[in-house]
Structure 1
Amino acid sequence: MRPTAIFIDLIRSIDSGNAPDKIEALATLLSMEPPGEARAIATLRHLEALGFRLEGSGQFGAAARAYDLAAPLDPRGQERWRTTAATARLRDLVERGLWDEASAFVAEMRRGGGAEPALREVAATLLRVGWDHECRYRAEPAVQCYRLAFALNGGDAGLATGDGHNISTKIRNLRILQMNALAEAGRHEEAAALHESTRTIAGLGPVGIYDIVSARQAAHEGQGVYRELLAGRRMAEPEVRFLDGPIALTSQPGTLDAPPQYVALFTDCLTFPRSNVVLHGQRLIYDLAAHPLSGVADIKDGVNPGQIMTAVWGAGRALIEAPAEIREIEAGLMMFGFQSRQYGHWLLEFAPRMLWFNDPACPAHLPICVDDHMPDTHRQVIELMDTRDRPVIVLPPVATRFRELGIAPVPAFFPFDTREGLPTYDAIWPQDVLAAMRRAILERLSEHPGGLGPAGRRIVLSRRGFTQRQLVNEAEIVEALRPHGFEVVHPEHLTFAEQVRLYHSAAIIVGSASSALINCIFCRPDAQVVALTHESPAFYFRGFTSFVESSGARLLFVRGATQHAEGVHPMHANYSVAPSQILRALARTQSAG
């Protein structure tokens, strides 16, 4: 049986301008003339359609009231109607940005003891709303929706955001983005307050605010000892050579001002293994973050998986998360830090520090401290370079306080990544420091049985074991080079000493421009190196040239054809190189030799 004509007229008269008043009139009518069982089904259908129509026009509060009116008419489905009404009511509070009221409503729903599936359903709706805000670059509404969903669900279990993250991870990542923006604007206190509002969801500690200083600045202000061992100097611009002639590079050229090299000593420092952060009182000692060019750097401490703290930077100050646990160590030299596991970072950023730790200016009693996740090759580098037989202390990923800490710098200004919207920063490496490291390692190896071995080998470096920047037709290239006396090697299967001897024995090396090519710093001065890469003009051409040619070897780039794939950064794309290109490069290196 149809509802009464008065009911139908009221339903039809409701629009976005009068919904609240008209629905209350509808509620009064239903209380005065409750529909009998025969009319209840049709009345329910009209109320459901009304609620759906109001939600579609953004009238979520009015829609919730319509669903409230429907609940008593459906004794068997009252829980469904209550859930639908609660969802609409939350949507209303969210759309109006009434986050405190929304939190109170969520808390009331949890206290009400509703069925977990129903609560999860409401939470899932909040996740969809949050994802829509996030896709529209509205970070704060997105975080608030995710926060409410987390509270309603009682945690992460069973829910994921639109891109597959759990809620706590998503909130952490969005908060870091927001805090970075505030820090860059000099609004550090606001950033700290933002972190405080949701840190328990992400399982984080409170943050402190620290002034960023270089090691030199901190020491000169009476906070430590700074001994400069190599002054800052101007480097020559590397001459990048391509098989088919010059190209227009789109990366940002690295600075030609090589930073000073030093040993600095500080007392009572708080450090974070797998990170470059060193806290000393209310200061953060970090040369990269204190450098005049630091604005190009997207400093990654605390962002990537496996790190143990959260840090954001900007306007000369940083926000650092307070650790939940602190380990105490008497003394040590800092050979730990961000990306210490990755071979290329280790050899260029960390290993040269041993030159300065070997210097008489560095106290002999300090042990070497390293991260716990490094491969054996890294320890072998230390063993070859250490002239003082220092003990090595392995640090687990726990915040560590040193009573005495020795620091040495990275040889170049080297940001781990550039900020979004800025060109790739192509760091240029000082050849004098790398040549000194090369010399120290070769001299130690020459004293070992067998020495450095004979010269004249022709080598192809295989990259088959890697997933990024693959030379997809490697087998074809190898077959083209075999008749010319080339052998295939996999450097990652060799000890460090074996790798050094291998590269030192080579007359010609052909391989992908990757970490394995960094070992070319151990080549002989008359060696020829052919570096294969994709066609991106934003690659690190200057950087590779500067460190490879620190040995005296000559580097020639061969650009192949990029294999573009969705979701793969152009810098990490796979590629192919025509065998004819390789043979032309070989002929050119032979004529140059």
Structure 2
Amino acid sequence: MRPTATFIDLIRSINSGNAPDKLETLAFLLSTEPPVEPGAASTLRHLEALGFRLEGDARYKDAARAYDLAASIDTRDPTRWRMLAAAACLRDYVEREAWHEALAFIAKFKLDGTEGATRDIAATLLRIGWNHECRYRAEPAVQCYRLAFVMNGSDEGLATGDGQPISVKIRNLRILQMNALADQGRHEEAAGLHESTRVIAGLGSIGIYDIVSAKQAADEGRGVYRELLAGRRMADPDVKFLDGPIAMTSQAGTLDAPPRYLAFFKDCLAFPRSNVVLHGHRLIYDLAAHPLSGLADIKDGVNPGQIMTAVWGPGRALVEAPAEIREIDAGLMLFGFQSRQYGHWLLEFVPRMLCFNDTACPSGLPICVDAEMPDSHRQIIALMDERDRAIVTLPPVATRFRELGMAPVPAFFPFDTRPEFPIYDAIWPQDILAAVRRRILERLAADGLDLRRTGRRIILSRRGFTQRRLVNEADIIEALQPHGFEVVHPEQLTFAEQVAIYHSADIIIGSASSALINCIFCRPDARVVALTHESSAFYFRGFTSFVESSGARLLFVRGATEQAEGIHPMHANYFVSLDQVSRALAFATSAS
């Protein structure tokens, strides 16, 4: 039997303006005149078309009612209609941003829903969330992903439009939101956002901490601070280019070298892969407390591998409470963000040993380091250490120190700069690097290393690296070898072997990379040629300051950048012409 004319007329009369009332009339009609086979199938098709039409008009609640009516008369497959009704109902909650109502609805629905139905609805919510994310609407996206997670019961079998698990996506979006709020000083709101989804993201609760320097914390009576060397003014590096001066577009680093100090704090919480130290409601971090910290893109707590999550704002930070804490009686902090990377290690961490060697630093305190640092780092510690200190390796677990000794990074050196600022070109104090150089050379000589050889010409290869690669390195090597150059792969040598080679060289040519940091061990009359890409926003001043701390002289040769999408401009590959290399060699040879 076909649907009655009354039913057909009623269906056709329903529109976005009258849908709620008309649907109730339709419900009464179906209850008093229920369709019978074979007309029921036709009635269901009409109800399905009505629901689809109402969804197209964004009348999701009314569409859900139409599907519910279909479920009430379909004796064969009512589940299908209940699923469509549930999906439409959730779309209504999403449109109204009624997130708590949506969660309550899901909890009720899951008591009756089948596994297949919940999985399909979760997938629909994922698609809606992805659409919001693509429109830069972070909060609706997070909430849709959250609803999908709750509907599905886990991450399993679900991924966002870019292939990420829901928990990872929520974590990343939340951090973006929290950063924006923290930038505006709205730390409590940021903490509330975190709390609402932290279980899904697999994170702990979060605390709000006031950012202070070691000196500020000690001045507040929270620790002991002893200055070993006062702050001082550095000379402006004299940067030289093969083809004459350029307009450098990086921001010149401050010429004010910070004081060298020792500071001690009791009952501290530290994170072996981060520079963050928590002490009560204070976060002790010189860089984050520096007057120039506003330009720094602080990376501590950004990557999950750092065993903590942190969000940074002016003067305050939000830090996740660790799930696990180990305890240590006392130690000296020679661990932190990027301590496993050679360039950061030699410039940021090794100079702290000068402070730990000072008689003001108590004997018996061990040096604490990241458990995964390479052997070369241990070799350097052994050379720098004058107090025969033990070494304690820290696994990636938050660590509470009953007493922690700290020393400073010798310069204000942000890992990266916020996007709205130019690259920050940190300048390094040559007195500190010269003291490191002197200590290591004296110790190596005392250990029997022959440092008398001179006259070598070396080219540093980056063939084993994927970033900041000299594309035509092989051609340049072929051109230089007839002039007595030998190829060196520093990463394949022990630290002592590297020092010996750099110290014996009259001329060094290589990419402007961490390998050039070893030029602090050059002889004062050495000449160093740094090959780099064409960007004018590079660390020209910084490289000049640390290379020339040895007395060597540095010349930059800017090549042509090899453009590649998604590559940080500092890490772009590049090409240097043989003519440029020939002219640089002539300069270095005549100068030496």
Distance 1:43 1:240 in 2: 83
Q: Which residue of 2 aligns with 1:260?
A: 259
Q: Which residue of 1 aligns with 2:562?
A: 563
1:212 paired to 2:208: no
1:106 paired to 2:106: yes
| Residue 24 of structure 1: how far off its partner (Å) | 2.7
Matched ranges for 1:333-344 at <5 A: 333-344=332-343
| Residue 406 of structure 1: how far off its partner (Å) | 0.7
Q: Which residue of 2 aligns with 1:540?
A: 539
Matched ranges for 1:288-303 at <5 A: 288-303=287-302
1:260-285 per-position Cα deviation (integer Å, ceiling 9, x unaligned):
11111112211111111111122111
Code of the residue aligned with 2:29 in structure 1: it is L
SS at match of 2:306: coil
Q: Which residue of 2 aligns with 1:96?
A: 96
Distance 1:375 1:585 in 2: 34
Is the 2:87–2:121 Cα contact (8 Å) retained in structure 1?
Answer: yes
Q: Which residue of 2 aligns with 1:277?
A: 276
Matched ranges for 1:61-210 at <5 A: 61-72=61-72, 74-112=74-112, 114-210=113-209
Q: Which residue of 2 aligns with 1:516?
A: 515
1:375-414 per-position Cα deviation (integer Å, ceiling 9, x unaligned):
1111111011001110000011111111111100001111
1:61-120 per-position Cα deviation (integer Å, ceiling 9, x unaligned):
1222222233345544432322222111111101101011001011112222x2323212
Distance 1:375 1:236 in 2: 34
Distance 2:455 2:16 in 1: 84
Q: How many residues align?
A: 592
Q: Normalization by structure 2: what TM-score?
A: 0.96
1:18 paired to 2:18: yes
Distance 1:116 1:369 in 2: 51
Matched ranges for 1:175-574 at <5 A: 175-574=174-573
Distance 1:74 1:460 in 2: 80
Code of the residue aligned with 1:424 in structure 2: it is I
Distance 1:58 1:317 in 2: 43
Distance 2:463 2:77 in 1: 60
Structure 2: runs of 5 or more not aligned: none
Distance 1:565 1:537 in 2: 17
Distance 1:493 1:126 in 2: 51
Distance 1:280 1:180 in 2: 22
SS at match of 2:347: helix
1:402-427 per-position Cα deviation (integer Å, ceiling 9, x unaligned):
11111000011111112233222221
Distance 2:537 2:4 in 1: 72
Distance 1:26 1:538 in 2: 70
Distance 1:445 1:179 in 2: 49
Question: Comparing 70-79 with 352-361, which one deviates more in the overlay?
Answer: 70-79
Code of the residue aligned with 2:218 in structure 1: it is A
| Residue 511 of structure 1: how far off its partner (Å) | 1.3
**Aligned-residue RMSD, C-alpha:** 1.8
Distance 1:513 1:396 in 2: 32
Distance 2:247 2:43 in 1: 72
Distance 2:585 2:39 in 1: 89
Distance 1:52 1:236 in 2: 73
Distance 2:48 2:541 in 1: 66
Q: Normalization by structure 1: what TM-score?
A: 0.96
Distance 1:480 1:54 in 2: 74
| Residue 313 of structure 1: how far off its partner (Å) | 2.1
Distance 1:5 1:569 in 2: 68
SS at match of 1:580: helix
SS at match of 1:459: strand
Code of the residue aligned with 1:28 in structure 2: it is F
1:482-503 per-position Cα deviation (integer Å, ceiling 9, x unaligned):
1111111111111111111111
Distance 2:498 2:96 in 1: 63
Distance 2:81 2:544 in 1: 68
Distance 2:561 2:282 in 1: 45
SS at match of 1:389: coil
Distance 2:151 2:96 in 1: 19
Question: Comparing 7-16 with 282-291, which one deviates more in the overlay?
Answer: 7-16
Change (3 A) 1:552 1:126: same
Is the 2:303–2:309 Cα contact (8 Å) retained in structure 1?
Answer: no
Is the 2:366–2:389 Cα contact (8 Å) retained in structure 1?
Answer: yes
Distance 1:235 1:582 in 2: 32
| Residue 458 of structure 1: how far off its partner (Å) | 1.2
1:138-182 per-position Cα deviation (integer Å, ceiling 9, x unaligned):
222121111111111111111112222211122122222222222
Q: Which residue of 2 aligns with 1:60?
A: 60
Overall identity of the aligned pairs, in %: 77
Q: Which residue of 2 aligns with 1:584?
A: 583
Change (3 A) 1:8 1:557: farther
Distance 1:509 1:37 in 2: 91
Change (3 A) 1:582 1:4: farther
SS at match of 2:227: strand
SS at match of 2:28: helix
Change (3 A) 1:4 1:545: farther
SS at match of 2:515: helix
Matched ranges for 1:40-59 at <5 A: 40-59=40-59
| Residue 212 of structure 1: how far off its partner (Å) | 1.4
| Residue 314 of structure 1: how far off its partner (Å) | 1.7
Change (3 A) 1:29 1:569: farther
Distance 1:356 1:13 in 2: 85
| Residue 2 of structure 1: how far off its partner (Å) | 5.8
Change (3 A) 1:93 1:455: same
1:32-69 per-position Cα deviation (integer Å, ceiling 9, x unaligned):
33334333343333333332332233221122222223
Change (3 A) 1:116 1:446: same
Distance 1:362 1:490 in 2: 37
Is the 2:273–2:336 Cα contact (8 Å) retained in structure 1?
Answer: yes
SS at match of 2:311: strand
Question: Comparing 557-566 with 335-344, which one deviates more in the overlay?
Answer: 557-566
Is the 2:559–2:574 Cα contact (8 Å) retained in structure 1?
Answer: yes
